[in-house]
Amino acid sequence: MDDLMQAARDAYENAYVPYSDYKVGAAIETADGTVYTGCNVENANYSNSMHAEEVAVSQAVADGHTEFERLAVSSAARDGVTPCGMCRQTLAEFCDDDFPVAVDGDDGGVYELGDLIPNTITRRMLD
């Protein structure tokens, strides 16, 4: 997970955060081992801001990937930030409950997606 976490750290360096000054980077590994990164991109209309995890997933999906192995998330504060609820739901669209999510910092560690967002809305529920 060290290489993936480093990719997340590198990604937050490109974050555009003129309002919060809170840089976040994410790195997601696809089933074939390709790594995609993302950083948060803020907007004066806060609801249009993009989160690092969603940017990384979106780039992977745009390249045709929908199967993922693991995710690492880091902030410049290295405070153990976890994906927000919206990002957790996005991850749940593509990943099972046992999908590993590594977070950076003293309180960091590796979580399973199902522990971060139990009983999520899934495609099966909508069928």
State the first-to-last Cα distance of the chain, in angstroms, to the nearest integer: 35
Q: Please state, in angstroms and rounded to a whole number, the distance separating the CA atoms of residues 88 and 113.
A: 7
Vertex 81: Cα angle to 35 and 48 (nearest 5)? 75
Residues annotated as catalytic are 53
